């Protein structure tokens, strides 16, 4: 079957296009990886045909043999829809994650995203927390980024501020938002630090850079980032004004009960 008809590919094309339209992925900003079901990938690809092998520079034995659809390094989200095979790739991790076998795409000889370590290590963390986790998404949404300049980076404080900005935040991300202080991107070090943060929440802000989100589907992960970004936008609209009304911790407890969510331990007073 033609991979251009695969739901996983169509969804990723739509998602990158939509993220660009939201202004989250200027130039080559942002990257996405999606864990594919081997059987599903096998409907569209000859899994015995390895086009080339790319060293990863890290190991992740938990992901050995797993297949990922990923965005390419240096590629522009706005262009994905016009040439998916050049801008995206399907890779299978081998040799305990030390190598990635290209099964499709990256037709101009390119490589997977520069943030591959952060993506793969985050998948390990999220799969341990939720076996149904599939997606890791990184982008540069302006309001979360701006907030990281003017708000405390204390994770509890950062989370509580966002929760208070829209009623639904506490329902969408009851696990909160973790925060990494500025670090050099594209390295194994930021990958390991991000993966550590991903053990306790599905969102991690990279201060002065962007955000990571993880989830079971592209839609869910997009929605997670979209909700946090909307909350950050509201925060920036009111941060310089006298605040007369708010959502109290008691009110958030009511939301928790009514919607059956469990907020992060110790985050509500």
List residues near Zn ion by CB under 5 A: 210
Tell me which stretch binds ligand 2HA (CB under 6 A): 6-14, 23-31, 61-69, 102-110: 23-31
Tell me the closest approach of the beta carbon of residue 76 to ligand 2HA, in angstroms. Answer: 10
Q: Rounded to whole angstroms, how far apart are CA atoms 127 and 133? A: 6
Q: Rounded to whole angstroms, how far apart are CA atoms 153 and 144? A: 11
Position closest to Zn ion via CB: 210
Q: Rounded to whole angstroms, how far apart are CA atoms 228 and 178? A: 12
Q: What is the DSSP letter of 168?
A: T
Nearer Cβ to ligand 2HA (47/142): 142
| Binding flags for ligand 2HA, 182-201, as an x/- string (CB under 6 A) | ---x----------------
The residues, ordered by sequence, that sit 6+ positions from 46 with a Cβ below 8 Å of its Cβ are: 103
Q: Rounded to whole angstroms, how far apart are CA atoms 262 and 259? A: 9
Candidate list 14, 17, 18, 29; residue touching ligand 2HA; CB under 6 A: 29
With binding defined as CB under 6 A, does residue 114 bind ligand 2HA? yes
| Furthest-apart CA atoms within the chain: distance in Å | 63
64 dihedral zone (left: phi>0; alpha: psi -120 to 50; beta): beta
Q: Rounded to whole angstroms, how far apart are CA atoms 263 and 171? A: 8
Sheet with 210-215, strands from edge to edge, namely: 52-55, 99-105, 88-94, 67-71, 31-36, 135-139, 210-215, 203-206, 177-180
Tell me the closest approach of the beta carbon of residue 87 to ligand 2HA, in angstroms. Answer: 12
Q: Which of 38, 40, 115, 251 is catalytic?
A: 115
Pick from ligand 2HA, Zn ion, none: which does 114 bind, CB < 5 to 8 A by kind? ligand 2HA
Tell me the closest approach of the beta carbon of residue 112 to Zn ion, in angstroms. Answer: 14
Tell me which stretch binds ligand 2HA (CB under 6 A): 5-13, 27-35, 82-90, 176-184: 27-35
Candidate list 9, 19, 30, 171; residue touching ligand 2HA; CB under 6 A: 30
226 is a catalytic site residue: no
- Strands (E) across 56-180 are located at 67-71, 88-94, 99-105, 135-139, 177-180
| Binding flags for ligand 2HA, 135-174, as an x/- string (CB under 6 A) | ---x------------------------------------
Which residues here bind ligand 2HA, judged by CB under 6 A? 28-31, 114-115, 138, 185
Q: Which residues are catalytic?
A: 115
């Amino acid at each position: 079957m033609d991979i251009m008809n695969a739901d996983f590919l169509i969804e990723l094309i739509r998602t990158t296009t939509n993220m660009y339209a939201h202004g989250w992925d200027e130039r080559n900003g942002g990257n996405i990886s999606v864990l594919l079901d081997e059987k599903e990938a096998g409907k569209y690809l000859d899994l015995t045909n390895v086009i080339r092998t790319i060293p990863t520079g890290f190991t992740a034995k938990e992901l050995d043999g797993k297949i990922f659809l990923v965005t390419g390094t240096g590629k522009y989200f706005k262009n994905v829809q016009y040439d998916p095979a050049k801008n995206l790739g399907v890779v299978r991790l081998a040799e305990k994650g030390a190598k990635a076998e290209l099964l499709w795409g990256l037709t101009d000889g390119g490589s997977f995203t520069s943030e591959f370590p952060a993506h793969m290590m985050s998948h390990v963390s999220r799969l341990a927390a939720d076996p149904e986790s599939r997606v890791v998404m990184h982008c540069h949404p302006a309001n979360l980024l701006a907030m990281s300049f003017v708000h405390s980076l204390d994770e509890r404080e950062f989370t509580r501020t966002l929760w208070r900005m829209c009623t639904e935040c506490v329902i969408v991300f009851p696990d909160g938002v973790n925060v990494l202080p500025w670090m050099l991107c594209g390295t194994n070090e930021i990958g390991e630090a991000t993966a550590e943060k991903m053990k306790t929440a599905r969102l991690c802000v990279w201060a002065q850079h962007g955000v990571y989100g993880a989830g079971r589907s592209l839609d869910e992960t997009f929605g997670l980032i979209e909700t946090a970004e909307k909350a950050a936008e509201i925060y920036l609209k009111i941060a310089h004004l006298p605040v007369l009304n708010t959502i109290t911790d008691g009110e958030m407890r009511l939301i928790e009960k009514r919607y059956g969510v469990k907020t992060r331990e110790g985050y509500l007073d």
